[in-house]
Structure formats: structure tokens, C-alpha cells
Amino acid sequence: MTGAAAPILKACACLVDGRGRLLVFSHPEDGGMQLPKGTVEPGETPDAAVRRELLEESGIRFDGPLVPLGTLDRECEAGVEGNVHRHAQLWHLYLMRTADTLPATFTHIASGSPEEDGLVFSFRWLAPDEAIDDFALPYRQAIVRVRTHLAGA
């Protein structure tokens, strides 16, 4: 008897600045807007993974406190985000608040993953009331979770 494969663990960085804006980027190969996220490596905690992923994808080192925002279940289709096979994912969401002054827009050359090494990601800040139609469903769910948390804080 075989069961369903365990979901692939992901860590998603929800970096918010002092104006309540969320860091987002355009991925040149996947289309649409995204949040920094990636796979939790073997032996790595989701907490450590979210810090590493933010650094690899944006160049931003975040040493501040992490606020866990729970998890999201996602069924990832084949052919999406470089995936060959359909599989389950479990996203760990973390709110990261920064008081640092960061540029309104910037680019960063991704590192750390064979699929993304050398890709140029274009970053910007998503305003608290800005539409999120350009994001795929799991990113929209993560953004709603961030906005709900910030509204209650």
C-alpha cells in the first residue's frame, strides 16, 4: 500500500517596510508577480530557509524577528514554476518587518538554486491597498494573510 507523497516544504518571505508595503518581484520565466520563497532544504528549518531564500532571491539579509503566519497547502501543477511533476507543497509563511530604507524598485541576480541562478528578478513594493490580480492563487492567499495580520496588529 502506498500513500500520498509528503508535501514539499516551502518557506515564503513576507517582507514589509515601515509604510506597510510588501516586497514583491517579477520572475522572468514564470510570469506574474511573486513573493520570495523556496524549498526548505534537507536538515534546514523553515525559519532558516526563509532567511536564506530572501537573501538568495533579493540580496536582502534579514536578521530581525520572524512572525509565523501559518501554512498554506498548494497542489502544484506540472509545468508550473519549473516543476516537471504535479506535487503537493506546504508553504510556511513568515512576516518580516524592516525599518531599513530600501529602494522603491531594484533588481537582483538570483543565486542558490540551479533553476534560478543568474536570473534577474525585478523587485518593487506592493502598497497595502493595491490590487493583487497579477499574482497566482497561493501568492494572493499569502498577501491576504499578511494584510489581515497587519490590520489586526
Tens-digit pLDDT profile for residues 78-129? 655 555 666 788 999 999 999 988 999 999 999 988 888 889 999 999 999 9
Neighbours of 14 (CB within 10 A): 27
Nearest to 115 by CA among 84, 91, 92: 84
73's grid cell: 497547502
Helix, strand, or coil here: 123?
A: strand
Do the Cβ atoms of 138 and 72 come closer than 8 Å?
yes
Q: Global pTM?
A: 0.89
Q: Which domains are seen in the chain, by residue range? A: 21-152 (3.90.79.10)
Q: How is residue 36 written as a grid cell? A: 520570495
Tens digits of residue pLDDT in 43-78: 999 999 999 999 999 999 999 999 999 999 887 666
Place of cell 530557509: 49
